[in-house]
Each structure stands twice: as C-alpha cells, then as structure tokens.
Structure 1
C-alpha cells in the first residue's frame, strides 16, 4: 500500500498529528474524525483540509 503525504495544515495541526505519530493521509483516515479532533491543536479546519485531500484519492475518514 502506498502512502500519501499529509496536506499543508496549520502549525498546531501539524504538531498534533506528528505527536500522535500520524505521518500519512492513510494513517489520518484510519484514525477517524473523532480521534483527530481529540488531538490538542487539531480542529475543524484540519478535518476539512484532510477530507478534501482524501477525496482526491477516493478515501474518507474512518468515522
């Protein structure tokens, strides 16, 4: 399975994903919206950006 880089996000959102060990779109998708929003520094705008990037690949968030 190939992995795709995360899209450009705000610095706090990028740090939140990094601290959770999420380094690819596929990993973010597997975590799901609820888990991502629970990360300190990750908010609704990050979800919107991730959803758009995932949609380009035919993927979506787990929940």
Structure 2
C-alpha cells in the first residue's frame, strides 16, 4: 500500500500529529476526525485540510 505525506498544515497541528505518531494521510484517515480533534493543537481547520487532501486520493476520515 502506498503512503502519502501529510499536506502543509499549521505548526501546532503538525506538532499534534507528530506527537500522536501520525506521519501519513492514511494514518490520519484511520485515526478519525474525533480523535484528531482531541489532539492538543489540532482544530477544525486541520480537519478541512486533511479532508481535502484525502478526497483527492479517494479516501476519507473515519468518524
């Protein structure tokens, strides 16, 4: 399975993802929107950015 890097995102959101061990779009998709929003520093704008990147790949966030 191919893994895709995360899109450009704010520094706090990037740190939140890194802290959770999320380094690819596929990992973010599996983690789910609710769990991502629970990460300190990750907010609704990050969800919008990830959803757009995932849509381009035919993927979506777990909810």
CA shift for structure 1 position 45: 0.2
Q: Secondary structure at the match of 2:32?
A: helix
What is the CA–CA distance in structure 1 between the aligned matches of 2:33 and 2:23, rounded to whole Å?
A: 16
The 4+ residue runs of structure 1 with deviation greater than 6 A are: none
Q: Which residue does the alignment assign to 1:22?
A: 22
What is the TM-score of this pair, normalised by structure 1?
Answer: 0.99
Q: Tell me, which stretches of 5 or more residues in structure 1 are unaligned? A: none
CA drift at 1:16: 0.1
**Pairwise CA RMSD:** 0.2
Alpha-carbon shift at residue 40 of structure 1 (Å): 0.1
